Amino acid sequence: MATPARKSAVTQDFVLIESIRDGIVLLKDGGLRAVLMASSLNFALKSEEEQDAIVFQYENFLNSLDFTVQFVVHSRRLNIQPYLDTLAARQNEETQELLRVQIAEYIEFVRSFVELSEVVSKTFYIVVPFQPSIVEQRAGLFTKFFGSGAKTAASGAEDDFGHYKNQLLQRVESVSLGLRRLGLRVVELNTEELIELYYNIFNPAESQRAQIPAQSRE
């Protein structure tokens, strides 16, 4: 029977993420990822001409890319408990009996509606990748093992990260510009937001019960 520590180690073997820093996801295979969050677009409410224009612009956007991107729709059951708690607190403060009854009925209506309808919230993400070439990775290993003048292994690794990050951010800017031309709002997730996102993905049950404290954007 595996010990808890052994279970944790085995679970981590299936997670491809090495670390998250400076708003960049570092993978165990040396790859880098940036994650953008985009707003939605109600395509069905657009006129036929507007729909054609959006499709044409989207085709141009995809054709302009010389690298792959991943579109992810993250669906999760809507957690309305904080909202219900706020209403309950308001009910306790209310002195008029009629309003107290109305608030109680509204709380029950919202709770029942969400439970019966299985209301979910959807968030849209775009994952932008960058994978250093084999030549670059080997050059990095050479520097770490044999050195390069006065440059230490640590400073060499840091220079590599900065170089790869700049190339990734160029891709991020290209993707962001293309999506904004479609009328979408796009924002790049920072380190804290990436940690919260992956925490919720890998711990869906726990994320329903507890929320990670919100962090201010960098």
The model's pLDDT over 33-53, given as tens digits with 9 standing for 90+, comes to: 999 999 988 888 899 999 999
Check: CB of residue 129 under 8 Å from CB of residue 70: yes
Nearest residue to 171 via CA among 70, 72, 73, 74: 70
- Residue 126 near residue 179, CB atoms below 8 Å: yes
Helices and strands, counts by H and E, the chain = 8, 6
pLDDT confidence of residue 53: 92
Q: Tell me if the pTM is above 0.75.
A: no
User: Given this model, what pLDDT does residue 10 score?
Assistant: 61
Task: Give pLDDT < 70 ranges for the chain.
Answer: 1-12, 134-157, 205-218
